[in-house]
A and B are shown apart, each in its own frame.
Chain A
Amino acid sequence: NAGVTQTPKFRVLKTGQSMTLLCAQDMNHEYMYWYRQDPGMGLRLIHYSVGEGTTAKGEVPDGYNVSRLKKQNFLLGLESAAPSQTSVYFCASRDQGEHYSGNTIYFGEGSWLTVV
């Protein structure tokens, strides 16, 4: 059981280039999330999805787009990469349930992106 898998793990981009980060989960989870983590900033939510075909903006959505065409996949796109987007990106997923149930969130191993 792989859990949450992110690809690629490392990538270097030039300013203005585009790329897509892929997140795949094999737990049949409804909810999926993309975060970025920067030193001293903690995890910040970029976009999230509550089900196939849905997406919503998080705390820092500018410069990113997402798609959830299939339930198991959540794609994060950078249309025109900027040095400020140099970061570690984490994908996460959790099962559907009432908030009070506290469904565990499962994270991927991260994708290190450098924009030069």
Chain B
Amino acid sequence: SQKIEQNSEALNIQEGKTATLTCNYTNYSPAYLQWYRQDPGRGPVFLLLIRENEKEKRKERLKVTFDTTLKQSLFHITASQPADSATYLCAPVDNAGNMLTFGGGTRLMVKP
């Protein structure tokens, strides 16, 4: 069965450092992969999308990589700030249907 794995343990880092979050998937052949941010008590908000033919995508302090061989996406936040503290969700999307499946999310805590 299809499975998406994100580190369920919180990631604690110091302000100014680079945070790296991992999303692994199995039994998928995603056409693209999306990353979302979710704050406590709020709905997820779209951040970035990377397509299967793209190795890397950047947006301001965010960088996403996509390795279809390893079946893995990495999400980086450079020069992290306490305001980056949130839960980050990945969502591989295949080209066969309309549904969107999410990983369980990784909580990031950036300490000042």
Contact = CB atoms under 8 A, between A and B. Distances in A.
Contact of B43 (A50, A59, A90, A99): A90
B104 A45 contact: no
A100 B98 contact: no
Given A40-B104, A42-B105, A102-B32, A50 B42 contact: no
A29 to B, nearest CB: 12
B44 A107 contact: yes
B98 A31 contact: yes
Interface size on B, as a range, is 20 to 34
A42 B99 CA distance: 15
A45 B43 contact: no
Contact of A40 (B8, B41, B93, B98): B8
Interface in B26-43: 31-32, 34, 41-43
Interface residues of A, number: 26
Interface stretch (B12-20, B45-53, B58-66, B67-75): B45-53
B34 A50 contact: no
Given A42-B89, A43-B89, A107 B101 contact: no
Interface of B is mostly: loop
A99 B95 contact: yes
Given A45-B99, A107-B43, A110-B42, A100 B32 contact: yes
Contact of A99 (B8, B93, B101): B93
Contacts of A106: 46
Contact of A100 (B8, B42, B51): B51
Contacts of B45: 107
